[in-house]
Structure 1
Amino acid sequence: MYRVLVFGMTENPGGVESVIMNYYRCIDKTKIQFDFLCNFHEDAAYEDELTAMGGNVFHITARSENYGKYKKELEAFFETSQSVYDAIWVNVCSLANIDYLIMAKKYGIPRRIIHSHNSQNMDSKLRGILHKRNRKRIDKFATDFWTCSEDAAKWFYEKRLLPKVVMIRNSISVERMAFDEEKRKKYRKQLQCNDDTWVIGNVGRLHFQKNQKFCLEILQQFLKKDSNACLVLIGQGEDEAELKELTRRYGISKKVHFAGTQTDIRGWLSAFDTFLFPSKFEGLPIAALEAQANGVPMVASAKVIPQEVKINSNFEFVNLDEGAVVWSEHLNHIRQTMKRLDISEVKQNFTEKGYNIETETVKLEKLFLKEVK
């Protein structure tokens, strides 16, 4: 049995967590088994499912919470785990903290995989400085270099390492996200929407990266064309209070639903008529893939969302600098001309583009089981 220690799960069922789960659900567990190291003491996202599939979940103190305790617990974990793991797979959005790889090397884990999931610093200035410092020395500790997109690779790794970088697509199960008519009715009833209400949705952490402030500006303009529309924001984050204040200032509080963190993303996507995704930067966003797996029409930020994210035909790119009025016009165009795609067409599109989890998992298994050069 090939055992992999996975770092990257948090308390929040976000994009990175979804990528890990999608692969873990499909991987051949008679050959490969995952365990999970988490730097927090609350339950991890999907923890019950992780343990039900045979994975062990280990919790240590966060570095930001108590540095001394974190270092002591981290060292103790790796010391007691010597000879247990064939690989460590570190899934992160920056290189600000590479302690897990350093410890893995110190205690003899032969495969040390770093996996890039973002294309820009989304944290503090200090973490940005730490990322740049560790970027120069990451190959002293990692043996394998993975990425979710070309843009993420270029930000994460120095040019000299790019030839070694392996693309691991943020693949998903189309069936798990496929449109569900009953769930559509359920969540639209919860929103108190009638059949004619045009429901615009966004899924993501309420954070400047995801640009929900711009979503509110777009809705404000779109309501001039259709007063029966509404916006649903799935997720939580540090911008929540400010976003709620903006809805009051714009006079659209009754048109914006803050749904918080949700586990039934398939159901909520089924309730949407359009998916709005004006992020300021991304690696390769799982939320955009899940929306397309559901078949819902989508508009996303051009030159920010990687081109390879476009899987379906009912998908439009718009530049952020074109402003809320133009974005609202694109939403109106989508409403008039684009329909939700059925699952057969969606599945064909995902398979052709290499984002179908069933076929991509086979490739991941081969990567794990290859001999270390």
Structure 2
Amino acid sequence: MNPAASPSSQPPVRVLHLTGNLDRGGIETWLVNVFRRADPAQVQMDILIASPEPHTGEYEAELRARGARIFHLPPTGQLPQFLRAYRRVLRTYGPYDIVHSHIHHFGGLLLWVARLAGVPARVATSHNDTAQIDRQARGARAIYLRLTQSALQNSVTHRTAVSQAAANALFGPDWRAQGVQIINLGVDLTALQTPRPTDELRQQLQLRPAQVLGCVAQLRPEKNHLFLLDVLAEYHRRHGPAYVLLIGEGAERPAIEKRAEQLGLSEWVRLLGSRADVADLLWLMDAFVLPSHFEGLCLAFIEAQAAGLPCVVSTGVPITSDDVRFPFIDVARLPLSDGPVVWADAVADALAHGRHAPPRMGFDISEGVRELTDFYLRAGRGEQP
């Protein structure tokens, strides 16, 4: 490579992202923000969906309009068919300079196939802290983890993670010795930190005068929405009425609806589904509550902080200073073992503090995309970060 050559004189680096779906979620929203800001003259990106239940995601139309090719393969449960289709994508639509996996353990197998296909740079990003449940694995699950971990270690060229906890979960306790980079994905600070009028939105949601709690998370067991409803019930008993807005979609919806009915809270629980107006909804909330069993680095929590919300989160949400580029403001971090009563009182304390001024944050998506582009340019040309 000629060091004096300008970026425009080089062909764009070609990247294939591997992800589980393209519905609204933390990883997926980040990926869309990358496509909105990345320079296609420097980086050209496609997306491959690896899922047990592949389907057309909410973000697909926009991504296709932005030039991405999106590959839907057979379900991952049909492994031989899935792998044949994956190899065909690499052979027919390549050559790719980089395959970038955002899938957790299964990504190890896919990067191993990419290595066999001759893809020179194979990137694994850990987005989740699954260490606790992985330690409990037995039988077929334990064998699966050993096989995918072996495939990962024998194929990955660049290791990244969104937090120290996520790095440990995928790469092991010696992740620092392996050269794992902790990366900051970034959020759209301009949109999040611009105050919004909320009267019309409150009327649309038919909210009477009362405090409004919120949680932005796909409706999955690890997000622990049922515990949040127990917290809301205790809050009603001890402190008075409050709504909770649950923004996200997923398989847990029927269980959440049933629990809300059992607790007599159906009137106070708003299951809003997947929404494009998350920034507006954050400005409608009075506090953000996230009782996840585990997270890698929750972008929804970062967004809540950006909007100035007091937050009550579980100890499963990593917030160490090495993982982020700004000091957290007004965050109560509690173990789930403290139970709903303690959590309800912590929520009351957070509500008493009120919204704070949006903080100065080094977590803007534009900066993140610049760093990611530089990473891709170096990795695609055979350089280590």
Deviation at 1:244, TM superposition (A): 1.6
Q: Distance in 2 between matches of 1:158 and 1:302?
A: 20
Matched residue, 1:362: 370
Matched residue, 2:7: none
Deviation at 1:307, TM superposition (A): 2.8
Deviation at 1:312, TM superposition (A): 3.7
Unaligned runs of 5+ in 1: none
- 1:336 maps onto 2:347 in alignment: no
Q: Distance in 2 between matches of 1:329 and 1:170?
A: 32
SS in structure 2 of the partner of residue 63 of structure 1: coil
SS in structure 2 of the partner of residue 30 of structure 1: coil
Matched residue, 2:288: 275
SS in structure 2 of the partner of residue 206 of structure 1: coil
Q: Which amino acid aligns with 2:163?
A: S
Deviation at 1:132, TM superposition (A): 3.4
SS in structure 2 of the partner of residue 28 of structure 1: coil
Q: Which amino acid aligns with 1:206?
A: L
Matched residue, 1:111: 121
Task: Choose the corresponding residue for 1:32, options 43, 49, 64.
Answer: 43
Q: Distance in 2 between matches of 1:138 and 1:68?
A: 19
Q: Distance in 2 between matches of 1:303 and 1:43?
A: 30
Matches within 5 A, 1:11-30: 11-30=22-41
**Cα distance change on mapping 1:88 and 1:304 into 2, 3 Å:** same
**Cα distance change on mapping 1:205 and 1:331 into 2, 3 Å:** same
Q: Which amino acid aligns with 2:30?
A: V
- 1:73 maps onto 2:73 in alignment: no
Q: Distance in 2 between matches of 1:365 and 1:191?
A: 40
Task: Choose the corresponding residue for 1:100, options 87, 104, 110.
Answer: 110
Deviation at 1:304, TM superposition (A): 4.0
Deviation at 1:151, TM superposition (A): 0.6
Q: Which amino acid aligns with 1:231?
A: V
Q: Distance in 1 between matches of 2:248 and 2:71?
A: 25
SS in structure 2 of the partner of residue 306 of structure 1: coil
Cα deviation code 1:158-210 (max 9, x no counterpart): 3455331111213111113235423x22331122113x310111111222211
Matched residue, 1:134: 148
SS in structure 1 of the partner of residue 222 of structure 2: coil
Q: Distance in 2 between matches of 1:268 and 1:325?
A: 26
Q: Distance in 2 between matches of 1:364 and 1:90?
A: 14
**299-308 or 109-118: which moved more?**
299-308
Matched residue, 2:269: 256
Aligned length: 360
The alignment's TM-score, normalised by the length of structure 1, stands at 0.89
Matched residue, 1:8: 19
SS in structure 2 of the partner of residue 103 of structure 1: helix
- 1:175 maps onto 2:183 in alignment: no
SS in structure 1 of the partner of residue 223 of structure 2: coil
Q: Distance in 2 between matches of 1:311 and 1:202?
A: 21
SS in structure 2 of the partner of residue 233 of structure 1: strand
Q: Distance in 2 between matches of 1:232 and 1:149?
A: 27
- 1:306 maps onto 2:316 in alignment: no
The alignment's TM-score, normalised by the length of structure 2, stands at 0.86
Q: Distance in 2 between matches of 1:284 and 1:323?
A: 23
SS in structure 2 of the partner of residue 141 of structure 1: coil
**Cα distance change on mapping 1:334 and 1:231 into 2, 3 Å:** same
Q: Distance in 2 between matches of 1:46 and 1:176?
A: 18
- 1:319 maps onto 2:329 in alignment: no
RMSD, aligned CA: 2.3
**Cα distance change on mapping 1:173 and 1:188 into 2, 3 Å:** same
Q: Distance in 2 between matches of 1:9 and 1:174?
A: 26
Unaligned runs of 5+ in 2: 1-11
Matched residue, 1:62: 75
Matches within 5 A, 1:96-245: 96-120=106-130, 126-127=140-141, 129-163=143-177, 164-182=179-197, 184-194=198-208, 196-245=209-258
Question: Does the CA-based 8 Å contact 1:314-1:339 persist in structure 2?
Answer: no
**Cα distance change on mapping 1:289 and 1:281 into 2, 3 Å:** same
Q: Distance in 1 between matches of 2:194 and 2:200?
A: 13
Q: Which amino acid aligns with 1:368?
A: Y
SS in structure 2 of the partner of residue 113 of structure 1: strand
Cα deviation code 1:60-112 (max 9, x no counterpart): 11212x334323312221221342x11111112x2135332122112211111
Q: Which amino acid aligns with 1:175?
A: T
**Cα distance change on mapping 1:24 and 1:152 into 2, 3 Å:** same
SS in structure 1 of the partner of residue 200 of structure 2: helix
Matches within 5 A, 1:84-99: 85-92=96-103, 94-99=104-109
Question: Does the CA-based 8 Å contact 2:112-2:151 persist in structure 1?
Answer: no
